[in-house]
Every structure is written in structure tokens, then in C-alpha cells.
Amino acid sequence: MLIKVPSVANLGLQTIKVDVEVNLASRGLPGFEIVGLADKAVAESKERVRTAIVSCGIDFPAKKITVNMAPADVPKEGSSYDLPIAVGILSSILEFEVPEKSLFLGELSFDGSLRHTKGAFLMALFAKEFGFEELFVPKDSANEAAAIKGIKVFPVANLTELSQHFLKRKNIEPVKYKENLENIPMPAEFDMKEVLGQEQAKRAMEIAAAGGHNIIMIGSPGSGKTMLARALPGILPPLNEAESLEVTKIFSASGGIPPGGSLIKNRQFRAPHHTASTAGLIGGGSKPQPGEISLAHRGVLFLDEFNEFPRQIMEAMRQPLEDGTVTISRSKQRVQYPADFMLVASANPCPCGYAMHPKKNCTCNPNQILKYQKRISGPILDRIDLHIAVMPVDTTEFQNNQKGSEFLETSEKIKQRVVFARQKQMARFTDEAIHSNSQMKNSHIKKYCKLSKNVEEILRQASLKFNLSARSYMKMIKVARTIADLDNSEEISANHIAESLQYKPKAYESA
């Protein structure tokens, strides 16, 4: 008897249909065989399925069972085929029909219950696109799949319940999607108003958030770089619907959605340590997994101690920074992951860290400082729009000076301005493939950043005085565009350009 149970395989973010064909033959020696390019986890599925069925009080048939997974040339991986295989066998023993237009996915436990399995969200998207009506997934993974409207998602707790459902004795109710706020990570560790001083750095953060610009902070240890970066998520605009789907897809593929999780609505803040491997950061493995840069898609990738990152990793980030995607090629497959993130880097000015400190003495000689600076790849620095020096805050100044508190804006207030500026950009780029000022190429700059004679003259003078490269020149215009958007001005004025000059690339300086 031959039974076909439909399921899916996820290759990166791409989903293809996989037919799990189960044959129970009365002839031949009893046995259990899986064919069709199955990896170790799939092959082990035999034992899980057998034990789970037995745990449910059903006699495992003493027949020659062969499972084929078609198409046979696509590698299958993971534990998600337990459920389709078990359903195929059960359908043969209990004699029920496997409904047409349905998909199955889920890992079995020995006791017959189903465990949270990655990829349910991707399967739901696939079901929607190709007209499948019913999804059977583990209970814990049902909510993320139900985020896609128009398909029935059945939360399966265990095999017994499922058999009852198919035998029409007791139905499983399709799950209703509910936004799960608990599973969304806390937006920001700090509020901007907790950051004392750092007026200019906070302003730079606001501009970076508004225009999606990459930013680098250079300053002595303890000057507040990390705190500023960690406060950044609090001023980022929420993800829109399309962006939320993109991010959820990546997390579904990497197994990053917690049990019972829902659509990801917050911009991600990823802060990998500098000992991270290239594969961990960029993505990779023999079956390419998304790396930190993809998990930070539409969010923030914070690289603390930027010059401690190995050169190789920095160079590997160049192409994703430019294109917003990363293609991971392996001999067996090629996978493309989106990686459109905002890079926030922080670095010390010199090995001892005190080159810019107003009080402490730096013990490094210029050669050491030069070498230290050179650890940051030039081409990467070229792709960073905002450069700021973060000076340590003199706390005594705040104890004596109550005036300071007037400057302390809450993240919420800054966020309002950021959201407003983002909306302006969305409207501006409706006909373009980009969505923020930071992504503008030279052609866009020509089109959307017209400078008056007077403004152009200021910029020309500045590039002479500060020795700006052609690329820096363009960066200044992009940053000025964002400053103008924050100012609700269509025109880029002299003042906007002048402010953007504050964030020009600077050489490390000693105090």
C-alpha cells in the first residue's frame, strides 16, 4: 500500500515541496528503510517514529516499510520529516485518508508528542503561495505559521490527537493567530535620557537611526560607546509589515523563533563578540545557515571593539554592506540571505585606549597607534557614513550643573522624529528599489539631493579644507539629506551641510 504525505524542504529561505512516499509491503522481511538523500537527522527519524507510534498504544506493523522522499536529488535535513513519515504509516494502519492540499512538518518525541520545529513559518508562506489549505504542525510552532492569513493551521499536540482528528472522532481546532508580546525581546536596555552628556553622539545616533546610516564611535574605554549603542534600538522605528515578514523568514529558517512565537515586530539588535567565526557572522556551514549579518537584517549589527575583529571577517562584510544581501556558495548548494543591516561599530583610539582622554595619559607611541588604526579595513570605513568621537563624561560636571537635565530627551521623543524622517524617505523612494537615505547610489543623490550654488560652494570649500575624498563628499550629502528630513525640509540648506561636516571621517587624534 502506497501513501503520499506532502511536506517541504527549506533551502535557505527558499521552500520546495517534498513528497514523503510511504510504502508498507506485506512481502519481504520486516524492516524500515528511508531513501532520498536523507541526512543523519532524517535517517534517525526511523527510531523516533517507531517508538512514538508504539507509545501511542498502536502496534507497529511487522512489514517492510520503505520511505522515499521526492525529489530524490534535493538533500533533506533536519527532524521535520518525523510527522509526515508517521502520518503515512498511521494512515496505512488506521486506514484514514491523508487530506489533499495539506502539508505536514514536525519532530516527534518518543512519547508520541510533537516538539517545536523550525521552518513552520516558511512552510505557511509556501502553502499560501501554492494553494495548500491545511497545515499540520507542532502545537508550539502553530502560532508563527498562523501569522499567514487564509490557511488553516492545526496545532498537533501528539499522534493520538492527530489520529482521532483524521478518524473524525474528535477534531483539532485550527489555531487563531495571536501576537505574542512576551516573546519579543526587550527593545532597548537603556533609554537615551539615561545617557548623561554625549550631546553630539546622541544627535549622531538620531541621524543614523533616521537615515539607516552606518556609524562608528571612537573613544576611550568607559566613555559610553556601548551604552549609546545599546540605547539605539529604543529610537529605531518599528518594522513595517513587509520588513517584519522578511525578518521572521530568516528567524524561521535559523530556528530563532521561540515556541509559541509570533511575527517579529522589533528591529533586531545583534552584538556578536569579536571572536565570532566568519561562518557565524556572515553565514555558512555545509548547509548554509544565516549569520549574524542576516539575523540583523533591517536592524542593527553592533560590533564592539571593532578593530579586534579579524581582518578576514571585516573584508567579508564589504559585499553585504554594499548589496544588502549575502550569497553563500557551497559545493552542494548556493543560498542567498538578505543582510540589509545598519552597522554600528565602536573602537578605542589606540591600544591603551587613552589617546583621546582629556585627563589620562596615553602610553602608546605613534607607530603603535598607526598600526592599531590600520586594523580597521579602509574599504569598510569608506562605507560608514557617520564618524564620531566619544569623549568621556566628567560626572562632577553633572553634579554641579543642573542645566544638563534640560538636554535629556527620552528615547520616545527622539523616536518620533526618527519615524517622521523615515516616512519622508519612504514617500521619496516609492519608485525606487531603496528605502532609506543611506542606500542612495550616486544616481539617486543626483536626483534627490539637489544642492543650490551656495550650498555646493560650502561643500567645495569644506572638501578643500578638510581634505575630503570624493566618496566622503557624497557621504556628507547623504547625511545632510537625512538631517534635512529630520528638519522637515525638502531642500538641503547650508546649515544641513554644515552639520553633516561634524560627522566627517577623522583621523585618530591625541589629546
- How far apart (Å, rounded) are the C-alpha atoms in residues 70 and 75? 10
Which stretch, 185-193, 320-328, 421-429, 454-462, contacts another protein (CB under 8 A)? 454-462
From candidates 4, 115, 128, 203, binder to another protein by CB under 8 A: 203
Under the binding rule (CB under 8 A), the answer on residue 431 touching another protein is: no
Cβ closest to another protein, residue 124 vs residue 462: 462
* Contacts to another protein from residues 388-417, by CB under 8 A: 389, 391, 393-394, 397, 401, 403-404, 406-407
Minimum Å gap between C-beta 305 and another protein is: 20
Provide the minimum distance between the beta carbon of 510 and another protein in the complex, in angstroms, as a whole number: 6
Report how far apart, in Å, the C-alpha atoms of 251 and of each of 143, 244, 461 are: 14, 11, 48
Cell representation of residue 26: 506485506
CA 477, 408, 232, 275 torsion-angle sign:
positive
Contact 342, 300 (CB under 8 A): yes
Does the protein bind another protein through residue 356 (CB under 8 A)?
yes
Q: Binding of another protein at residue 222 (CB under 8 A)?
A: no
Task: Count Cβ atoms below 10 Å from residue 382 Cβ, excluding itself.
Answer: 15
Closest to another protein by CB, 54 vs 370, is 370
Site string for another protein, 82-111 (x = CB under 8 A): ------------------------------
User: Minimum distance between the CB of residue 300 and another protein, rounded to whole angstroms?
Assistant: 21
CA atoms of 259 and 29, how far apart (whole Å): 41
Residue with cell 487530506: 99
Cα–Cα dist 302/215, whole Å: 10
* Helix residue spans in 308-365 (DSSP H): 311-316, 318-323
498 forms part of the interface with another protein (CB under 8 A): yes
Locate 506 and state its grid cell. Answer: 577623522
Contacts to another protein from residues 470-489, by CB under 8 A: 483
Cβ contact 42:78 at 8 Å: yes
Nearest to 295 by CA among 268, 319, 334, 324: 268
Comparing CB distances to another protein, the nearer of 172 and 462 is 462
Alpha-carbon distance of 353 to 211, in angstroms, equals 30
Q: Which of 362, 386, 418, 451 binds another protein (CB under 8 A)?
A: 362
Question: Which residue bears the cell 571585516?
Answer: 314
Stretch that binds another protein, among 28-36, 50-58, 231-239, 361-369 (CB under 8 A): 361-369
Which of 39, 179, 199, 308 is the binder for another protein (CB under 8 A)?
199
Return d(Cα 278, Cα 283) in angstroms, integer.
7
Q: In the complex, which residues of this chain contact another protein (CB under 8 A)?
A: 197-203, 356, 358, 361-362, 365-367, 370, 389, 391, 393-394, 397, 401, 403-404, 406-407, 458, 461-462, 465, 483, 494-496, 498-499, 501-502, 509-511
